[in-house]
Amino acid sequence: MKKRLILIAKILLTIALLWGVYHQLSPQWAQIKAIKIHINWAFAPLAVLAFCGVFLTSGLVWRWMASRMGDRSALLPTLSAYTFSQMGKYIPGKVLLLLMRVNRTTPLGMTPQTCTLSTILENATYMVSGGLVAAVTIAVFKPNLWIILAVGAIVAALLTVCHPTVFYWAVNKGLTKLKRPPVEPQERLAFSHILLGIALFIPCWLFGGLALWAAIRTVLPDFTFHQAAILPGAFAASVIGGMAFAIAPGGFGAREGIQFFLLQAVFPNALGPIGLAIALQRLFQIAAELLLGSLGFLLSRPPAITPAAAPAESTSTGIA
């Protein structure tokens, strides 16, 4: 019953976001069609590279967490296994992502337990980090007392969630659902390590802001520093919102809707170009995922095992 209510809430939220985007664009659709938008594809490679920076940063943080749990497998193959397994997020439920990662890392020496736990930790700290960046960005760009108080409450709540007592209680519930053994006290990361993991994700949002900037730059010739400064926070808010609420794989629809709502206040006279830039950004992200996923598939493949040569048959030289 609880899962059904959550699913219904996600569906309603996604519909509301898409309706909101339509409501904002439809009155100006005639003007938007009349605008001849020139796409400057010279910024596309920068957007793709920036998205590669997002995924590689996440992979390195995941690898660092696994190493704190005692894993000593080689960096490049395990990082490649990470980028390959990320392709599984487009399957609903993200179960395939974890299965792909376990399948690729086990031959490399990482235990399934470590792979599973580090993946849960990665996703949890990723969401906390993005939530903090988004909250602070909103407080800075919308300096309102109530907003600042709300952001302060959100930051306090997120930091509380990060405390090992609360954090590992939630993690163990997740492991129980996956039919995995819980994390024992001696295997847990310290509070300082969890906070460091959250901080290590900060470059993800900077790279994401750069990717969003490059996508917008393909359709808008210039914009102010104030407009550009909000982009890392807008990217973080859309990613975290997509992870938490979207029903479609990869946060399709919800992520784009959140970005549009945040950016339409910054670019009120360029709704058409902003909508196009957000759509292009998704294409650039998929291009980066395909690039890194293909390389990860090749670099994380376990070495082929050649069958041992059969022993030569001995010839009898005995006297009959």
Structure tokens at 260: 């549009």
Q: Model's pTM, two decimal places? A: 0.78
What are all long-range contacts of 10-17, with beta carbons under 8 Å and residues at least 24 apart? 10/245, 10/246, 10/247, 11/247, 13/245, 13/254, 14/245, 14/246, 14/247, 14/248, 14/253, 14/254, 14/257, 17/253, 17/254, 17/257, 17/258, 17/261
190: helix, coil or strand? coil
Give the range with max mean pLDDT: 49-58, 214-223, 256-265. 49-58
Percent of the chain clearing pLDDT 90 (strictly above)? 27
What pLDDT sits at residue 204? 95
Least trusted range by pLDDT, from 107-116, 141-150, 163-172, 220-229 = 141-150
What would the mean pLDDT of 68-73 be, rounded to a whole number?
Answer: 88
Radius of gyration of the chain (CA): 24
236-247 per-position pLDDT tens digit? 988 887 776 655
CA–CA separation, 137 and 235 (whole Å): 11
Between the alpha carbon of residue 111 and those of residues 93, 115, 174, 255, the distances in Å are: 22, 6, 18, 33
Least trusted range by pLDDT, from 253-257, 284-288, 289-293 = 253-257
What pLDDT sits at residue 285? 92
Helices (H), 201-250: 202-217, 225-229, 231-245
CA–CA separation, 250 and 290 (whole Å): 14
157-189 per-position pLDDT tens digit? 777 877 888 888 887 887 787 777 888 777 788
